[in-house]
């Protein structure tokens, strides 16, 4: 008989596995928390710090930065969807084998802007060679790439931010996903790049299958389309992948909220009873808001209109109440103080109001600032 899973059961398990039901014990390795999230979005590093901090008791941005820059237990690089994430360094053999094996959409660039597959391989190789044992700014890296490949790589043909970027930069995310590049410490206000530690990659097919299984452990039950959306991959490719996994007995189908075609890892069918209660403040592009599906249940009613930007999750920090989005929030720092403005979309109980205050304090602790809570309208627009 096919197992039937409710939203509350799935939500409770996801929250537990994300350390959002109960934060990880003090002293838990930052890399372990990031691993449970399946990467922490880090286009804005402070958002990644809050994502980790609200999941780990006592952890502040100092511990996250130490894990990244000093211990090198984390790597800041291009992860799922080509966007900047924190990844556990020990998991690079998985990520940097799986991500390049995910089919990408056709380039939207004009034909005279694009690079060929051979040119892309040359650029990625040149980036890896140039960054070996050093940190370079983007301009310095560009000079090295052109010197190793040819002047064509430096042609300023890519429209970007009211400017034109050199041709080679359209492959930058690919270099990150394949392990040729990661971010280094800033040099003043300039971003730098370096090469991550060398590793032996997994076979691509094995890596993709393992990544799918890990996604289902963290965010299942899920459909192939959910997985494809998380990776910005073609839906048909994900359907075929899940078919292969099902045929090998690695995943099994369940009924989720009455819908068929949803999957969990084979044998991973234990779900908590009841709903997880509690309040959390999740920052921009937090992994839970991005990956947990179906989106209309995670963002019910007014939350779908207020907390999503054109249906895209992550553009607003969200107030999570009992596992669903129930508001938005924003923090603005001034010196050693930060003002946390929370906009609930409905009436909160006295307990929930108290927990909102505790969560605002926790955000302040993570950012090593004194937090002041304001309950009211968030006037800041969506994060671009």
pLDDT at 384: 46
Closest CA to 339 of 379, 383, 378, 370: 370
User: Is 320 among the domain residues?
Assistant: yes
Do 197 and 209 sit in the same domain of this protein?
A: no
Q: pLDDT higher for 289 or 312?
A: 289
d(CA 118, CA 383): 36
The larger pLDDT score, comparing residue 313 to residue 260, is at 260
Domain of residue 230 covers: 4-8+203-265
Here the tokens at position 70 are 């000093």
Query: Does residue 113 sit in the same domain as residue 198?
Result: yes
At 67-79, the pLDDT tens digits run: 999 999 999 999 9
- Cα–Cα distance for residue pair 46/2, rounded to 1 Å: 43
Residue 37 lies in a domain: no
Strand, coil or helix: what is 340? strand
In a domain, 294, yes or no: yes
Mean pLDDT in residue range 157-179? 91
Please state the rounded mean pLDDT for residues 84-113. Answer: 90
For 184-201, the pLDDT digits (tens) are 999 999 999 999 999 999
Q: Which pLDDT does position 210 carry in this prediction?
A: 98
The pLDDT of residue 173 is 94
When the pLDDT of each residue in the chain is averaged and rounded to a whole number, the result is 95
| pLDDT of 265 strictly over 80 | yes
One domain, residues 196 and 107: yes
Same domain for 338 and 288:
yes
With bands split at pLDDT 50, 70 and 90, how would you rate the model's confidence at 111?
confident
Three-class SS state of 85: strand
Give the mean model confidence (pLDDT) for residues 161-182: 92
**Within a domain: residue 92?**
no
Task: Identify the DSSP state of 90.
Answer: G
Confidence of residue 21 (pLDDT cuts 50, 70, 90): very high
Mean pLDDT of 114-119: 91
Looking at residues 249-271, what average pLDDT do you find? 97
Task: Please check whether residues 115 and 191 belong to one and the same domain.
Answer: yes
Residue keyed to tokens 């996903």: 177
Confidence of residue 87 (pLDDT cuts 50, 70, 90): very high
80 assigned to some structural domain? no
Distance of CA 123 to the CA centre of its chain: 26
- Helix, strand, coil shares of the chain, percent, nearest 5, are 45, 25, 35
Q: Please compute the mean of the pLDDT values over residues 256-271 and round it to a whole number.
A: 97
Weakest-pLDDT range from 110-119, 298-307, 330-339, 365-374: 110-119
List the 259-265 sheet strands across, edge first.
Answer: 4-5, 251-256, 259-265
- Contact between 249 and 295 under an 8 Å Cβ cutoff? The reply is no
User: What mean pLDDT do residues 46-60 have?
Assistant: 97
Which residue among 215, 239, 265 closes a domain?
265
Banded pLDDT at 110 (limits 50, 70, 90): confident
Q: Residue 25 domain-assigned?
A: no
- Asked if residue 198 and residue 109 are part of one domain, the reply reads yes
Q: Is 18 a member of any domain?
A: no
Find the mean pLDDT for residues 26-40.
96
Domain assignment present for residue 62? The answer is no
Whole-number pLDDT of residue 382: 79
Split into its structural domains, the chain has a count of 3
Query: Looking at 227-236, 240-249, 270-279, which range is the least confident one?
Result: 270-279
Instruction: Encode 145-166 in three state secondary structure.
Output: HHHHHCHHHHCEEEEECCEEEE
Same domain, 289 and 368: yes
Q: Which CATH number belongs to the domain containing residue 162 in this structure?
A: 1.10.10
- Looking at the fold, whether 188 and 234 belong to one and the same domain comes out as no
């Amino acid at each position: 008989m096919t197992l039937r899973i409710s939203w509350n059961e799935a939500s409770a398990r996801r929250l537990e596995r994300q350390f959002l039901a109960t934060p990880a014990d003090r002293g838990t390795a930052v890399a372990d928390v990031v691993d449970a999230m399946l990467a922490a979005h880090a286009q804005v590093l402070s958002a990644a710090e809050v994502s980790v901090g609200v999941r780990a008791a006592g952890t502040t941005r100092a511990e996250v930065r130490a894990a990244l820059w000093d211990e090198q237990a984390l790597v800041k690089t291009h992860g799922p969807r080509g966007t900047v994430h924190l990844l556990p360094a020990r998991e690079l053999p998985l990520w940097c084998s799986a991500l390049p094996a995910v089919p990408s959409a056709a380039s939207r660039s004009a034909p005279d802007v694009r690079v060929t597959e051979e040119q892309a391989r040359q650029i990625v190789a040149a980036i890896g060679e140039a960054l070996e044992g050093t940190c370079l700014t983007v301009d310095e890296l560009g000079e090295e790439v052109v010197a190793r490949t040819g002047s064509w790589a430096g042609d300023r043909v890519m429209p970007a931010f009211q400017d034109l970027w050199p041709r080679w930069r359209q492959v930058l995310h690919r270099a990150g996903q394949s392990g040729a590049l990661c971010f280094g410490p800033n040099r003043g206000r300039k971003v730098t790049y370096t090469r991550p530690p060398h590793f032996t990659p997994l076979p691509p097919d094995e890596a993709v299958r393992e990544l799918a299984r890990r996604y289902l452990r963290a965010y299942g039950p899920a459909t192939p389309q959910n997985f494809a959306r998380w990776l910005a991959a073609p839906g048909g490719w994900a359907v075929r992948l899940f078919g292969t996994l099902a045929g090998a007995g690695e995943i099994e189908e369940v009924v989720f909220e009455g819908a068929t075609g949803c999957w969990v890892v084979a044998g991973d069918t234990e779900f908590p009873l009841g709903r997880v209660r509690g309040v959390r403040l999740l920052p921009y592009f937090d992994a839970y808001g991005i990956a947990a599906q179906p989106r209309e249940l995670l963002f019910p009613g007014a939350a779908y209109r207020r907390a999503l930007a054109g249906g895209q999750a992550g553009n607003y920090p969200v107030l999570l109440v009992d596992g669903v989005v129930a508001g938005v929030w924003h923090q603005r720092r001034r010196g050693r103080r930060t003002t946390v403005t929370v906009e609930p979309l409905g009436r909160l109980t006295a307990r929930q109001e108290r927990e909102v205050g505790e969560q605002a304090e926790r955000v302040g602790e993570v950012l090593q600032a004194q937090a002041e809570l304001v309950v009211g309208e968030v006037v800041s627009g969506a994060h671009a």
